[in-house]
Amino acid sequence: MKTAIRERALQLGFDACQFTTTQPPDSAAQFQRWLAAGRHGQMTYLERNAFKRIEPSQVLAAARSIITLGVSYAGEEPGPAGPGPVGEIARYARFSDYHNVIGQGLRGLAGYVDSLGPGVRSLWYVDTGPFLERDLAERAGLGFIGKHTNLISRKLGNWFFLAEIITTLELPPDAPEKNHCGSCRRCLDACPTAAITAPFQLDARRCISYLTIELKGAIPVDLRPAVGNRIYGCDDCLAACPWNRFARAGAMMAEHRRAGLETPDLAELLTLDEAGFQARFAGTPILRARRRGFLRNVCVALGNVGGEEALPALQRAASGGEPLIAEHALWAIGRIKARMADGG
């Protein structure tokens, strides 16, 4: 049955398919300590369902196995930017929303699993289930957790999504993957905000992905310069990993790449009203940040990389009636004027 499931997964466009049990991950206690230290910031949903994350059988009664799946989003680097200051969007968000794309394949695969025995029941998740999914995927042999706390595959590098099917069907588990980081610390050195406080330790409150997506209020002033031109997520620790030499493009996401998200013009983005924001990013993960959060990020990026030409757009944003955007626009104006005064 494992062979048949894996073959069906590959037919549906998945790039990796591995199997593990529903036993609690060995990292459960470490996860609880991480929560207790408050390193999850405003991601309170992690606390609400923590009991399920440390006990997968709480997700589905009588579950026996978890199928872990990988979907590559590796692809070409963006081309040359235009003449004005541009923003940087994390690679995974330059596609149609992966939840919807991968969900279609998962629905079909879960239905196939259910057909393999009487009374079999399965549930599927794409980055939304109450699982410690990286730990389960490591135990299933799909990859190993790197020093940046993300999963690394020796076949896919860092550029892939994870998904899971938990099922009442009992399937023999695959062997766990071993860690292959060795003495490398490129990801730690690459992190702009020192969010990777030690190997395998992340303080999400300092992570640019958290600051530009999950954080709903003001970005801490002391961290804003390190954000650079990143306006949605950050790939620096992933991009630094030498295992990316094995990364390869996958079939499932390739046709869902969205044009115009590689090097967006920052000043133009700042002109988007609510309707324009919804139209520009419809069907992408970027909607998660909402307009006020996204334009907050754009203001910070302009404060870091913009010049005199960005001041009119920032001044309009500063008087636009949205306090969060206005505060960050005023900060950006101050930064640009200080550079101008210094001759920069």
DSSP assignment string, 96-118: S-HHHHHHHHHHHHHHHHHTTST
Give the Cα separation of 63 and 166 in Å (integer): 7
Q: How much is the pLDDT for 219? A: 98
- What is the helix (H) or strand (E) element at residue 309, kind and residue range? none
Longest dimension (CA), the chain: 75
Distance between start and end Cα atoms, the chain: 64
The candidate with the shortest Cα–Cα distance to 241, out of 277, 193, 205, 190, is 190
Q: How much is the pLDDT for 146? A: 97
Q: How much is the pLDDT for 83? A: 66
Confidence of residue 3 (pLDDT cuts 50, 70, 90): very high
Q: Is the pLDDT of residue 209 over 90?
A: yes
Report pLDDT digits (tens) over 310-321: 999 999 999 988
Report pLDDT digits (tens) over 71-94: 999 986 665 566 679 999 999 999
Q: Note whether 317 and 323 are within 8 A (CB).
A: no
Instruction: State if pTM tops 0.85.
Output: yes
Q: Is the pLDDT of residue 23 over 80?
A: yes
Strand partners of residue 17? 69
Q: Which of 114, 127, 174, 265 is catalytic?
A: 127
DSSP assignment string, 120-180: --EEEESS-SSS-HHHHHHHHTS-EE-TTSSEEBTTTBT-EEEEEEEESS--PPPPPPPP-
**Does residue 127 have an active-site annotation?**
yes
The backbone torsions φ and ψ at residue 110, rounded to the nearest 5 degrees and listed phi first, read: -65, -40
**Tokens representing 170?**
């009992």
> Which amino acid is located at 15 in the chain?
D
Give the Cα separation of 1 and 19 in Å (integer): 11
Strand partners of residue 72? 160
Angle value at C-alpha 103, between 20 and 243, nearest 5 degrees: 60
